[in-house]
């Protein structure tokens, strides 16, 4: 229970990797808030799962493409849970296809959710985090490798998190706040199911361990970075992809 007494916000925490992270932090003792855009029933299910293990939990409806909603969600966490110690930027969207065919709408969606929402959430969270604060963003192993075409714009937004993290680690280190990125590889979620046909089979073959990851695999890495044992880890990139990028 190394996170006992800590308050966490996991953006995009109603399903998939975000839901796994929210539950993982709660299992380590944290009270957890999640945001969601279109899945109120699943958000409520995550809240119930956290409450069953004796931690406080709230779900906040907030469209990450709306910077006002993102900022307000941070303030709501502080009001409802009495503070904020851990911010996990888990929300994300994917628009894939040949770069020349991407619409301006596709590009705007990628930038607003994958990059701007993270920046706005961090700006809003910094005044509340204090000594021992944690900022953890969920990137992608595709930020550093191009295994196949069609990921250029998506990968660019995830690469942006690397620069943001490293520079913020320098800026926030004197305040005792660490900033890190976790980069999942193929992970079994609704957006990328392990039984998803030929693409899933190809991804599985590209891993060193021969399987998809699970949300719990990613949650374990995030929980480590969030706890006091990781106080000397900042500006770092932790890739959790079963050896996909090896």
The catalytic residues are 154
The token pair that represents 187 in the structure block:
């992970």
Please give the order of strands across the beta sheet that includes 134-138.
57-61, 31-36, 7-10, 86-89, 134-138, 178-184, 236-240
| φ, ψ (nearest 5 deg) of residue 193 | -70, 145
User: DSSP label at 38?
Assistant: S
Distance separating alpha carbons of residues 105 and 120, to the nearest angstrom: 20
**To which residue do tokens 């985090």 refer?**
129
For the chain, report the end-to-end CA distance as a whole number of angstroms: 32
| Separation of alpha carbons 111 and 109, rounded Å | 6
Rounded Cα–Cα distance for residues 89 and 74 (Å): 12
Q: What share of the chain is helix, strand, coil (3-state, %, to 5)?
A: 50, 15, 35
**Which residues 6+ apart lie within 8 Å of 204 measured at CB?**
186, 194, 210, 211, 212
């Amino acid at each position: 229970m190394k996170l006992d007494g800590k308050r966490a916000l996991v953006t995009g925490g109603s399903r998939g990797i975000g839901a796994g992270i929210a539950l993982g932090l709660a299992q380590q003792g944290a009270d957890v808030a999640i945001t969601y855009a279109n899945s109120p029933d699943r958000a409520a299910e995550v809240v119930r799962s956290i409450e069953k293990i004796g931690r406080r939990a709230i779900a906040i409806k907030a469209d990450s493409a709306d910077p006002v909603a993102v900022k307000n969600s941070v303030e709501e966490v502080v009001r409802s849970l009495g503070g904020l110690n851990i911010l996990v930027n888990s929300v994300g969207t994917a628009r894939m296809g040949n770069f020349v065919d991407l619409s301006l709408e596709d590009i705007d969606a990628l930038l607003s959710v994958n990059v701007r929402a993270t920046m706005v959430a961090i700006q809003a969270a910094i005044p509340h985090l204090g000594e021992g604060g944690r900022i953890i963003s969920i990137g992608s192993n595709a930020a550093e490798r191009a295994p196949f075409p069609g990921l250029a714009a998506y990968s660019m937004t995830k690469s942006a998190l690397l620069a943001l993290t490293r520079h913020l680690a320098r800026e926030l280190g004197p305040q005792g706040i660490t900033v890190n990125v976790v980069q999942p590889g193929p992970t079994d979620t609704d957006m990328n199911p392990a039984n998803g046909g030929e693409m899933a089979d190809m991804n599985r073959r590209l891993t060193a361990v021969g399987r998809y990851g699970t949300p719990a695999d990613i949650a374990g890495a995030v929980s480590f970075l969030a706890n006091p044992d990781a106080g000397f880890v900042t500006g770092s990139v932790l890739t959790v992809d079963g050896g996909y990028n090896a």
